[in-house]
Structure 1
Amino acid sequence: MRVLLTGVGTRGDVQPVVALAVEMRRRGHDVRLCVPPNFIDWVGSMGFTATPIGIAMRQSSGAAAPAAPPTPEQVRALVEHLARDQFDATASAAEGCDVIVAGGAHQYAARSIAERLGIPSVVAVYAPVALPSPDHAPGGEPGGDPESNLRCWQDESRSWNERLLERLNANRERLGLGPVSDVFSHVLGKAPWLAADSVLGPLPATPGLQVTQTGAWLLPDQAPLVPELEAFLAAGEPPVYIGFGSMPVDPQTGRVVIEAVRAAGRRVVLSQGWAELGLVDDAPDGIAIGDVNQQALFPRVAAVVHHGGAGTTTTAARAGVPQVIVPMFADQPYWASRVRALGLGTSVARGAQSAESLLAALEGALDHGVAARAAANAGAVAVDGTAVAADLIERASM
């Protein structure tokens, strides 16, 4: 079987698709990838052939200060470019393929290209709040009035149509396909997948959709920790990990979190991330690191302070370590609410960050009862999400 797997966005959007690619290749299938330009070398180093899609969302180190916000005309031009690029890249990579699997909701072309080729396709989302439901508003925490939530989803659909409907249909016309009336429902289709752990992110009510929950798509990582980090870990009590991944974090945030961790009497492992955060001084109680194998590191720390991305949340839960989430946007407030609801940690609203609030949250996460629940919950996190998805692909029951 020849499979095209496509992912757009940041590392958190792309890595699950790569995890599924590894499983499909392990089973002997021919796998092609569409990933943003800044991930081509990474997937190439793993032996995959990839077609660039979309734009590199990370600025290179030392880039100039951000320019002024784009004008409405510039936004429209960018959306038009991204839509056309997705259609062109996906169409090129999909030639000769038997199935297309697209990771993330912002997949404007995958189902249209599959329709043109007459092959099955599916879109997988990584968080329950990406699915229209009376149980939550778009991207919001669970709960609220069901009718109000559904009205919010109607507004969300209108927003997608305003941005993309004309462009989507123009690209479908290029393929000889008829127009669609609603972008978001077309992108998801009638039977999307939810690639999230069922304990951390249970499936909500989804009227009109037949959703299959596969479990999270986790990429196995055997990379060793660098000697400097190993030495730091061995030199004292388990430290607190701080990392915000690909988020555009203000450097002051890193400073405030470090102050809170120190006030709690803990050492610091600071992941520099895309924001290139740095330590505040040369004190021996902290170490700054680049990309790291979280699967190897997290079981050896006292707590994980992070932005609440689906992948980091799942990896920390699987490691049995308490979490402090500082959510910023998208699905991150949802994961923060689930960590609180399960008693696996605490969170701090983005607008309420201070050394005091972060210290209180960290002390709450380090509470013996929370730490014990986090450790006990580790075994409940499923690790076979890619296997479940691969079974579905092989049966073509999408």
Structure 2
Amino acid sequence: MTTPIIGCIADDYTGGTDVAAALRRGGLRTVLLFGPPDPQLRLGDCDAVVIALKTRSLPAVQAVEMSLLAQHWLRERVTRQVYFKYCSTFDSTDDGNIGPVADALLDAQSAAVTVVCPAAPEHGRTVYQGHLFVHDRLLSESSMRHHPLTPMTDPDLVRVLRRQTTHPVALIPFPLVRQGPDAVADRLAELACDGVRYVVVDAVDEADLNNIAAAARGLPLLTGSAGLAGAVGRIAAEHHSTEPVDIVDTNGPTVLFAGSCSRATLGQVALAREKFASYRLDPRTVADVGDLLPGSHAWLAAHLGDDPILIYSSAPAEERGPADPQTAGALEQLMGALARAAVDAGARRLVIAGGETSGAVVDSLGITAVRVDAEMDRGVPWCTTLAPADPLSLLLKSGNFGTPDLLVRAASLGASR
């Protein structure tokens, strides 16, 4: 049995699938775990293991505790490096959780310094002069400034991180990154000697990420988005054999669940509604979200069959009322209950849009581990549960990811098998 060379801790479930896809794309056999892993879990042969937690929006103390449990589990099983994965839009508040979790992981790894690199150029996230851009807009001018839980109103990552940690934060700017891995590595060493713990590194394309990954190869802990993780995986895979990436055939009905209200998901839902029977969960129509369960459950039972179906709560701002975390949480739990009912009724392929929705569904189904298979779109892989007798196929999609027809293509793939 092979020992994983890379272990990753992700701060939400779709972030976990994103980084797992990046590692798998690089050639590493990757297993994705959901929630704090069982100490007795046997991984089998794999080169990378990703632990997807739901810590992004938790109080910092809880996020640190869960992340340390995952880190301890990895230290006993991973030979080389731990990677702390957060969103490419650096989703956090002034209290954390990126800074507090990174502080705790660095302490546990006895590491002096780490890089901070949320850049994901393939998704339009770049860092220049320490400022995070979403395509051609500063982060603070993007839709993330209106995020209900982690509104991002400051694009300066050095400034943001300094509010989350008591340790020094510095920047390696773009011109130095372009000088290559040796220049970046030398500067990292200099900053570590000066007592700097966090080094934000500019990156505007894949070549920059490759330079950073090569320079930081010897660091016990790295932090960033799936962009840097992909570069780390490519370097590691140069010394490991690869195998074909395919999609496992799981026969059974396909159900789509969409809870994200991001622009990308709204467009994907609109196209899916044109193709498939659909049911909207609208909390404005009931006194309590729980009152939506009987009608939605009856609709699911009546429509589950050979053709894909869609259940969604995704809606534009003008159609969903004021932001309410309690209502959002209740909708996620409702989605989880409906997913459980769908699987119990024979569904074997689930397509889920939205990080919190994905977490609720995975938890409701009691799924703890999957193998990462082929991607439908970048950062959106199919995953197969490890139960050999009756596996499920899952597509867990971050709200902002995917082409407009992603849900239609994913569901049609399931219908054609």
* TM-score, L = length of structure 1: 0.38
More helix by share: 1
More strand by share: 2
State the structure with bigger RCO (CA 8 A, min sep 6), 1 or 2: 2
* TM-score, L = length of structure 2: 0.37
